[in-house]
Amino acid sequence: MWECSGKSERDGEQIYLFEEDKGRAEITIRKHGEILAGFLSLKLGNQPFRENDNLELIEPVTLEIELAQKPRAVTAMYLHRDWWTRPEFTDDLGKIPDRTQSVFMEYDDGAGYLLPLSGNQFKAYAKGEKKGILSLTMTSYMAGMNQLCEPVFLMTTGKELYSAVNSAFDEAVKLKGIPGKEKKNYPDMFQYLGWCSWDAFYTDITEEKVQEKAKELKEKNVPVRWMLMDDGWLSVHDQRLYSMAPETEKFPRGFLEMTAEIKRNTDIKWFGVWHAFGGYWGGIEPGSPLAEEEKDNLFSTTNGKLLPYPEAERGYGFFRDWYEQLRRDGIDFVKVDGQSAVKNYYENDRPVPLAAAQTHMALEGAAAAYMGGRLINCMGMAMENILGRQGSAISRNSDDFVPDHEDGFKEHLLQNAYNALYHDELYYLDWDMFWTSHKDAGKHGLLRAISGGPVYFSDRIGETDGEAVRPLVYRDGRILKMDRGAKPSPDCIFTDPQKEGLCKLTNVGGCGENRKAGVIAAFNISPGCQKSTISPADIYDLKGDQFLVYDYFRQETMVMDREEKLEITVESEGTAFFLILPYQEDIIFFGLLDKYISFHSIMEVKHDTHMTMAVLRQGGKAAFYSEKNICRVLVNGKDQTNQLDHQGYMYQIDCMQEVGTVILMIETKDAL
């Protein structure tokens, strides 16, 4: 353990010096507003010809930091697998798990956030080793190096966690020179409902099965607009790719005729394929025709794999050739898995942050050129991937949906909810597929509705229940997408919802006239019945002082002030869901209540003294709230007043038969 041998200041920075016989190190702390940035410069002695001490492959450097103010609660987001994170809840920094890459901290007067960084050659993790001490380890997965000069961490504070995390990532994108989420293009294709083959067929996929599934979706009038052919279509031997063409026994005609037929005979518009970051899980088969054709674009690793070259220009050549062929064969997008296996692929050949950034650059360049940027990143939640991509917009946010896992929904919810607290800062989040015919289909559907990302399912042939997805989509397949990733409410961030309380997720979305409304979904994944509260103030980015709150499942409406709390009770494995709209006019439109995110359907609202007009995206169960007496209701110019149902001040009218947009005209008179 090297001890600090001196401290100084330079241009407002604090410099901590460490000098030993073996070398010299400097830790620099820069402060900018509420942001602390830590950097490490280290150089070991290097004899001209004698044996030297060099840095080890894994965790050659560990920094121990004692914080001036100890947090009262900590939620650590750690890599439980190489590619996914999940939360650990504790009250001691010394107890956070190894390979933690986001640390949320709660203080009496606010919140703090620690982001261990991935630099150019080294990446940092946080881990607990000593009580009250924060340890940061650095590694490159490249042995024998004798120096480094890298950013190590960003630490931020705020009144609440959301702003602290946002500040850290705003600074991270500047350090890394990558675009923020607001500068990324969300492909229009993912505004529509999709289907994936994985949980339907696993690797036993064939053209006949894809054709049959497409036919079923058409017959059931399920408005799927894209299909993803997951693992199983590729030409592989022993987990290694030997051809860029699909396996001939499964797809004897290739893809072009099949995709053209399905697009012609159904409403499917886009087809995609899955592949791994290395081509296939084990890379490219040495000695194969593909290996010979792509030899200038492939790299032989120390551990015996043949992989896309981990330099952008040469790696691009491999993905370019593949995607050009796929595009000619009728393929419109790709899902790329196994991205955080970079360290396993290239260890002792390239520093992992460098290999990740260069391979992402190659992949994204080809996806932009040939797939219009339609790319789903997957198995890529290690920080070298999160901070290493140059522009792609979508990233998977959790481990797989596992239909046969007894408690699968609990873990799926837990990972997606807490990962979104940091992952949402740079990406639109993919909460994975689900089954529409499943004991938890209703909860999975609601979770996807509030997720703010793509929505797709993976039913087997004959098992799609269209009613399970209709609350999530319009008739044309467009999803009712929310503005960001759904995130836990402030009172849930530092408590384990598997042990007590509820997991409450919030989000916001447009409700016409450039205004925003919010939602709160409360899931009980704790033992037994649980009590809690909900409040408009739970939604950190929802503006306003007074709100109309609608209990979606109990069909009850109430007016609440921003800080007001409503007590709720949710049964074991149960769910509650609330729509929260600004309370500003005499008539407040909820939109289409046959959709979870009902207010998304509101395109325009106009108010006059005794007449209010709303334009809805399509027909359905339209609803509005009015404390004034209703004189007349027109639906697309037709008087439908006698069709109006109401309970208290809440009114509903069935517009299911209307085609296209719906114009509602509500005529009122002052209440007596």
Q: Kindly state the average pLDDT of the residues 198-207.
A: 98
Q: Is 59 helix (H, G, I), strand (E, B) or coil?
A: coil
Predicted confidence (pLDDT) at residue 400 exceeds the cutoff of 60: yes
- Determine the straight-line distance between the first and last CA of the chain, rounded to whole angstroms: 80
Comparing 166 with 11, the larger pLDDT belongs to 166
pLDDT at position 323 over 70 = yes
Contact 358, 286 (CB under 8 A): no
Nearest to 430 by CA among 404, 460, 474, 400: 400
Average pLDDT rounded to a whole number, residues 256-282: 98
Between 260 and 32, the higher pLDDT residue:
260
Task: Write down the mean pLDDT value for the chain.
Answer: 96
Q: Given the DSSP bridges, would you call strands 621-626 and 650-654 parallel, antiparallel or unpaired? A: antiparallel
Q: Is it the case that residue 670 has pLDDT exceeding 80?
A: no
CATH class of 193-468: alpha beta
Instruction: Delimit the domains of the chain by residue range.
Output: 4-177, 193-468, 489-584, 590-671
pLDDT more than 70, % of the chain: 100
pLDDT the model gives residue 608: 86
Distance between CA atoms of 180 and 5, rounded to whole angstroms?
A: 39
How many CB atoms neighbour CB 318 within 10 A?
26
Task: Answer whether residue 672 shows pLDDT above 80.
Answer: no
pLDDT of residue 50: 81
Q: What is the pLDDT of residues 238-251, one digit of tens each?
A: 999 999 999 999 99
Answer yes or no: pTM beyond 0.85: yes
Pairwise CA distance, residues 84 & 486, whole Å: 18
Give per-residue pLDDT as tens, 474-525: 999 999 999 999 999 999 999 999 999 999 999 999 999 789 999 999 999 9
DSSP 98-150: TTEEEEEEEETTEEEEEEE-B-SS-EEEEEE-STT-EEEEEE-S-TT--EEEE
How far apart CA 135 and CA 150 sit, in angstroms, is 17
Tally of CB atoms within 10 A around 483? 12
Q: By C-alpha distance, which of 372, 359, 420 is closest to 395?
A: 420
* CB distance 657 to 638 below 8 Å: no
CATH number belonging to domain 489-584: 2.60.40.1180
Q: Is the pLDDT of residue 6 over 80?
A: yes
HEC per residue, 66-110: CCCCCCCEEEEEEEEECCEEEEEEECCHHHCCCCEEEEEEEECCE
pLDDT in tens, 591-618: 999 999 999 999 999 988 889 999 999 9
- The pLDDT score that the predictor gives to residue 671 is 43
Inter-residue contact 186 to 69 (CB < 8 Å): no
**Identical fold, 193-468 and 489-584:** no
